[in-house]
A = this chain, B = another copy of it.
Amino acid sequence: MSIINFAVIGYGGMGSYHAHNLIPAESTRFHVVGTYDISGERQQISKGKGLHIYESLDEVLKDGNIEAILIATPNDSHKEIAIRALRAGKHVVCEKPVAMNTDELDEILAVVKETGNVFMVHQNRRWDPDFLIIRQLYQNKTIGDIFQIETRVQGANGIPGDWRHLEKHGGGMLLDWGVHLLDQLLWLVDSPVQSVHSDLSYILGDEVDDGFMSYITFENGVRALVEVGTTNYTKLPRWYVKGLEGTAKINDWDLSGEIIAATGRKDVAAPTPIQAGVGLTKTMAPPSEEATEKLAFPEPKADFVPFYQNFYEVVREGAEPIVKNEEVRKVLKLIDDIFESCHKG
């Protein structure tokens, strides 16, 4: 099988992470040839790493040696770069969020159809170990049918200091982190969304949202609470998931947490009322010791190949993409709807 030569468009934090960490450089499948970035400083860094410096996007697109590009520029430039690259005969890997809205994405997808080239969005967090654990619990019914999913990321640093503060570049946390959490969720639950209630946060005074909370119900009965925060000095768990026979909590990306499951034993004592504040409660008392047990987390395993391996197989072997464009569109449509409903109030 022949190597796919890549050029990286936008050699910032994510672009350089792709160039040096994600695109599997040691394999016989990929080679990162060069980068295009408008910043002279970034060009120098790229040169220092031995990569070719392209002077313009045109120069990349005219380079017959380049078969695929990675787009890691600000969100508002994805559409134009993607369309020009597809029309120039390149395959495209695009950072998330794929575009500013579904109208833009539909323009891209029309050109995908027209050209037959591959266009794949880097929804890499489908491979996050914490998500893979939740996915296994969901699919294997380890704690019974899962009916409630709370998925949160919380930081205390506000919005990072660059174009992510600006609306015209597609800044804000719903597009930046929301797209990850919603992509994971919709892929996991795989049932039509029935209702969404959202609230965007503007507490930091930026023109874009510094976080949000969304409560989503799915047609299959699953409920989800999705939250991104950038003003959280102490955190709630990354995942809090309720099944009919137990509850799982993953605190953070370090995979600390616990699964507590019902033993189903019939001979257990009723819970003893506890003093709770100035009152008594049986309802909120801990269950008797025999009624529950602690389970170990499953190993975070994916039953699907890594992102770039899949991209290679899609390009060379016509394999099914793991991140499908119709799934990406569904997530972006949900984001469109959240913006619309929140701006209407």
Closest residue on chain B to residue A274 by CB atoms: B253
What distance in Å separates the Cβ of A55 from its nearest Cβ neighbour in chain B? 28
Report whether B232 and A247 are in contact in the complex, using a CB–CB cutoff of 8 Å: yes
Residues of B within 8 Å of A160, CB to CB, are 282-283
What distance in Å separates the Cβ of A188 from its nearest Cβ neighbour in chain B? 15
With beta carbons under 8 angstroms apart, the residue of B153, B231, B253, B278 that contacts A128 is B278
Residues of B within 8 Å of A223, CB to CB, are 199, 213
Report whether B283 and A176 are in contact in the complex, using a CB–CB cutoff of 8 Å: yes
Tell me the interface secondary structure of chain A in the complex. Answer: mixed
A324 at the interface (CB under 8 A from B): no
Report whether B236 and A213 are in contact in the complex, using a CB–CB cutoff of 8 Å: no
Given contacts A131-B277, A213-B215, contact A283 B230 (CB under 8 A): yes
Report whether A234 and B253 are in contact in the complex, using a CB–CB cutoff of 8 Å: no
Number of interface residues of A (CB under 8 A): 70
With beta carbons under 8 angstroms apart, the residue of B173, B232, B249, B280 that contacts A13 is B280
Q: How far is the CA of A117 from the CA of B282 in the complex (A)?
A: 33
What distance in Å separates the Cβ of A253 from its nearest Cβ neighbour in chain B? 5
Q: How far is the CA of A77 from the CA of B129 in the complex (A)?
A: 53
Report whether A278 and B127 are in contact in the complex, using a CB–CB cutoff of 8 Å: yes
Given contacts A278-B125, A287-B156, contact A215 B233 (CB under 8 A): no
Residues of B within 8 Å of A286, CB to CB, are 156
Report whether A203 and B283 are in contact in the complex, using a CB–CB cutoff of 8 Å: no
Stretch at the interface among A25-33, A56-64, A99-107, A256-264: A256-264
Q: How far is the CA of A253 from the CA of B281 in the complex (A)?
A: 11
With beta carbons under 8 angstroms apart, the residue of B13, B229, B292 that contacts A156 is B292
Given contacts A129-B277, A130-B277, contact A262 B233 (CB under 8 A): yes
Given contacts A247-B233, A253-B277, A278-B128, contact A283 B215 (CB under 8 A): no
What are 26 of the A-B contact pairs (CB < 8 Å)? A17-B280, A124-B279, A128-B276, A128-B279, A147-B203, A155-B283, A156-B260, A156-B262, A156-B292, A157-B282, A157-B285, A160-B283, A177-B283, A197-B197, A197-B215, A213-B215, A215-B215, A229-B242, A230-B283, A231-B244, A232-B242, A232-B247, A234-B247, A234-B258, A234-B259, A253-B277
- Known pairs A215-B215, A236-B236 / 7 extra A-B pairs, C-beta < 8 Å: A124-B278, A125-B279, A127-B277, A128-B276, A155-B281, A213-B223, A231-B247
- A residues neighboring B (CB under 8 Å): 13-14, 17, 124-125, 127-131, 143, 147, 150, 153-157, 159-160, 173, 176-177, 197, 199, 203, 213, 215, 217, 223, 225, 229-234, 236-237, 240, 242, 244, 246-249, 253, 258-262, 271, 273-287, 291-292
